Structure 1
Amino acid sequence: METKVSHDIVEKWLKAWSLSRKLPLPVRYKSGFKVEVGEERQKIRYVFSELNHDFIELSKQIDKPWTYLKVCASPDEVKNTVSGKWIIQPPGYMMSCFGPMKNSDTNLCEGYRIEYEKYNSTTVIKIIAENGELASIGRIVLVDDLAVYDRIVTEEKHQRKGLATFLMRELEKIALSKGITNNFLVATEQGKRLYESMGWELYSNYTSIVIPGI
């Protein structure tokens, strides 16, 4: 039996997402949430914890481009309920790790150093190469009892050196220092494999749709 997605966890994750990106906090919209993103190619995002009447009705009302609808459901489920004006985006995966991560004994590859930055309940960790290049970066946002990991990126020329694994462990230490062991993120197809190797599990499929502009 599929576990029902927690509306509370989705709300905390979206709040963390907004804090990480220095955006207005989400507001409730019917059974979901709305964030004023304000970017040229993502003006607003609506997020729903389930594929329901509110999501479907909103998909019928919106005609303007670059408003995203996002829902905890599979791409096929969404495709079967919305009109052809909507374009399904690459799949996302809500993932959780409720407890310590695996791969605890990781060391930073020689020739790299780490830097920290803080803002809006967010801690940024950067891994810097010897030549000063940014090799890897990630953020963690603590919202109540949930640690949300956001925008974990390793530059292509610095991949396959264990930097992302080391980065995740360093971010986890921040959560553990506050007594938080509930970890959450939304992964791409590529990132999903890394997180699974560290003990993360799929929490829910996460599908985004948009009407693209010209």
Structure 2
Amino acid sequence: MRHVLHSADEATVRKVTEHATAPGVWLKAFVPPETLEPWLAPGWHLAGGAGYLMSAPLPNAHARARALTETPDGYRVTTWTRAGVTRALVRTADGAFAARGQIAVTGLSAVVDQVETDPSHQRRGLGRLVMHRLTAAAAGQGATAGVLGATPEGRTLYETMGWRTLAPLTGAMRGPDSSET
């Protein structure tokens, strides 16, 4: 389970983290880590590293992503939609995983999630290719704006594609931590 707080304050974070006691529950909030950490109930810890909430108008992001419309040599990309989620998967010629991502359209907005490139395939344009496929699919479904949570590494790529940072994004997870082992 994940809780995403669009506006976080100490009372709300404490209430959520005191009542969510199952291991593996996540909380994400648009505040810096040093703000969120003291608000967490016992058994919770910061997780996932630094993050950023980013957004872009999809036609703009799509136009900037258009710079890479062909799949690089030695790779193949598959894109499909099921249950409202469009996924893009890049594999090597021999079928090994290289990159992936997904996007879900919710009205005029689309949420990009789980974009990753295998470290041995980075710096080859695969992240840009995945983003191009995802934003094109979302724009084709009528979405005009996209949002995503970025890592520091991902933020660099997304900024070159016209995305802008709106807020810090910090994650926390319920147990196990050193006090529970």
Instruction: Give the TM-score category using the shorter length.
Output: 0.7 to 0.9
AA at the equivalent of 1:51: A
Deviations 1:28-67 (A, max 9, x none): xxxxxxxxxxxxxxxx332211122222233345555433
More helix by share: 2
Equivalents in 1 of 2:34, 2:53: separation in Å?
16
Alpha-carbon spacing, 1:82–1:194, altered in 2? closer, same or farther (3 Å): same
Partner of 1:22: none
Partner of 1:86: 44
Partner of 1:141: 104
Kindly report the root-mean-square deviation, in angstroms, between the aligned alpha carbons of the 2 structures: 2.0
**Pair 1:156-2:119 in alignment:** yes
Alpha-carbon spacing, 1:210–1:134, altered in 2? closer, same or farther (3 Å): closer
How far the C-alpha of 1:167 sits from its partner, in A, is: 1.6
Whether contact under 8 Å (2:65, 2:131) holds in the other structure is no
Deviations 1:111-150 (A, max 9, x none): 2222123211011111221112221111121111111111
1:173 corresponds, among 122, 136, 141, to: 136
AA at the equivalent of 2:97: L
Partner of 1:76: 34
Equivalent residue pairs, number: 171
Q: Which has the higher contact order (CA 8 A, sep 6+)?
A: 2
AA at the equivalent of 1:57: K
AA at the equivalent of 1:193: T
Whether contact under 8 Å (2:3, 2:28) holds in the other structure is yes
Alpha-carbon spacing, 1:77–1:165, altered in 2? closer, same or farther (3 Å): same
Equivalents in 2 of 1:62, 1:177: separation in Å?
38
1:105 corresponds, among 67, 74, 77, to: 67
AA at the equivalent of 1:206: L
Q: Where in structure 2 are the equivalents of 1:111-126 lying within 5 Å?
A: 111-126=74-89
AA at the equivalent of 2:66: S
AA at the equivalent of 2:13: F
Equivalents in 1 of 2:133, 2:2: separation in Å?
30
How far the C-alpha of 1:68 sits from its partner, in A, is: 2.4
Equivalents in 2 of 1:128, 1:58: separation in Å?
40
**Pair 1:54-2:16 in alignment:** no
Equivalents in 1 of 2:76, 2:40: separation in Å?
47
AA at the equivalent of 2:111: V
- Structure 2 unaligned runs (5+)? none
Equivalents in 2 of 1:115, 1:58: separation in Å?
39
AA at the equivalent of 1:78: L
Secondary structure of 2:169's aligned partner: strand
Identity across the alignment (%) = 26
